[in-house]
Structure 1
Amino acid sequence: MTIPRNVRSNLGIVPGSEVEFVLQGDSAVLRRVEPAADERERAVQDLVEHLRRHKGSMALGDLDGDAFYSLLRD
């Protein structure tokens, strides 16, 4: 859906913003959804979910886990 520039500007809608439509009678009102109070917690949860989905899927070539972690620490 395309939101007109003046509407985006007035509502502070930028790429990645979340919006919602609220029904009021026979009309719909577009609103920008305020970011969660703890945006960092949400980001951490997203990362943890991502890591769980991809657990065990990284190709390390000839490295075993210990050698890989050693590279990360050095």
Structure 2
Amino acid sequence: MATTITTKGQVTIPKPIRDRLGLEPGNAVDFELTPDGRVMLMKSGEQRTVSRFVALRGRAGAGLSTEEIMAFTRGEGAA
């Protein structure tokens, strides 16, 4: 869906998007820039749903070294 920016910097949010977000005249909206450069539009006061993958990012421990993984792959690791 495309829309045009007016000379005042205004845009019309397409009806299917307004319906999906439950937006009505007079509602406030928030814009959020995501790390990948996208812009998210949400109804003000709504909590953003975090992807289960994003929620787990950075939670892994140090883990095994490459040499340890290769040893397990070759069957040399302790059981």
> Normalising by the residue count of structure 1, what TM-score does the alignment of the two structures yield?
0.44
> Normalising by the residue count of structure 2, what TM-score does the alignment of the two structures yield?
0.41
Higher percent of residues as helix: 1
Q: Which has the higher contact order (CA 8 A, sep 6+)?
A: 1
Kindly name which structure, 1 or 2, has the bigger radius of gyration based on alpha carbons: 2
